[in-house]
Amino acid sequence: MTTAWGSVESASAHASRSSFFYVFALTAGAFAGWVDVKLADLLFTALLVLAPSMMLGLLRPTRPWRWVLLVSIGVPVVDFLSNFFFSQRPYDGEKYAALLVFLPACAGAYGGALMRGVINNLSSGK
């Protein structure tokens, strides 16, 4: 892979740098799921999903759908695990509302990628 300043980067260095972003996305999603279980506030959970997905879309704008999946999958998974292990029974509406966090994650990741494109366009000097 060629970097912006013309040097060639090895694939292992690129993979090790990218793994941090994947771990961050999964951690942010798990944290949002934990907050959703503890507070049961869907708007705050949506904010906790929107912010990291937007940041990840801004930092890594190629294929923003991966940030949508990695960040937002944490909320339904943590809801399921809390139901399974701690027998916290959510309402039926909460089960389906956990799937709605894909919408703010999608808006955040694609909005961040769009923002990166605008920044690159403005900084190119054309």
One-letter-per-residue 3-state SS of 20-69: HHHHHHHHHHHHHHHHHHHHCCHHHHHHHHHHHHHHHHHHCCCCCHHHHH
pLDDT at 89: 67
pLDDT at 2: 55
pLDDT in tens, 65-109: 999 999 999 999 998 888 888 776 667 777 777 889 999 999 999
Q: How far is CA 114 from the centre of its chain?
A: 15
Quick check: 120 pLDDT over 80?
yes
pLDDT in tens, 32-72: 999 998 888 889 999 999 999 999 999 999 999 999 999 99
Relative orientation angle of helices 11-39 and 74-85, to the nearest 10 degrees:
50
